[in-house]
Amino acid sequence: MQLFLDTTDTAVLKDLAATGLVDGVTTNPTLIAKSGRPMAEVIAEICGLVEGPVSAEVAAMDVEGMLAEGRKLAAIATNVVVKVPLTRNGLIATSEFAVEGIQTNVTLCFSASQALLAAKAGASYISPFIGRLDDHGAVGMDLIGEIRAIYDNYGFDTEILAASIRTPAHVTAAALAGADCATIPPATFEALFKHPLTDKGLEQFMADWAKTGQSIL
């Protein structure tokens, strides 16, 4: 499963990308606003830090506006993926982007039927929002399994990008459910490395090694 970082913090991104484990980046209007920088500048810098897909979201709600904005965003770099909302207009725009060879990430998906429509429209990625479904009493991870079954039934190429991921357990569950990718906050990415038993075991190993008085070099 590919791991994307959901961030516009380029300093954090640069640090975590150095692990070699970051496959792409997602952004949204909220993250762009928090950056306090021009959107095109932020997206261009991120695209220079990672080779994988970088999602940049349109702000227009009408089809022509989405198409104009999407084309402009796609021109920033070859790895830009145009992010559009899962609305009727968003899927019309997605269909046109597919014809033009522009990759898309259809976002704010909350049902399997929405995901079916996005795949039929030619979306490159579908972003089901797991955590937000959990917040409303549903089991968000069930949606990943439903989408996976539908896409496999019909051979859709659209990749499932699990979003609104809150914890390492969410990442594991998304992988088990068959998600192709997960986009996660930097703090959650960092947490994936950690387990108390790893820390405890390493502490013991280092203490025992020190007692030997040896040096490998």
Query: Domain containing 111 — which CATH number?
Result: 3.20.20.70
Q: Is residue 159 part of a domain?
A: yes
Q: Is residue 207 part of a domain?
A: yes
Instruction: Give the pLDDT means over successive 10-residue stretches in the chain (217 positions).
Output: 97 96 97 95 97 97 98 98 98 98 98 98 97 85 96 98 96 97 97 96 96 95
Q: Is residue 156 part of a domain?
A: yes
Q: Is residue 217 part of a domain?
A: no
Burial 17-48 (b: 16+ CB within 10 A, else e): beeeebbbbbbbeebbeebeeebeebbebbbe
Query: What is the number of domains present in the chain?
Result: 1
Can you read off the two tokens belonging to residue 149?
């079954």
Q: Is residue 103 part of a domain?
A: yes
pLDDT tens digit sequence for 90-140? 999 999 999 999 999 999 999 999 999 999 999 999 999 998 888 888 888
Which residue numbers are catalytic?
Answer: 83
Q: Is residue 59 part of a domain?
A: yes
Q: What is the pLDDT of residue 20?
A: 96
Q: Is residue 35 part of a domain?
A: yes
Using an 8 Å Cβ cutoff, are 82 and 103 in contact?
yes
Domain that holds residue 196: 2-212
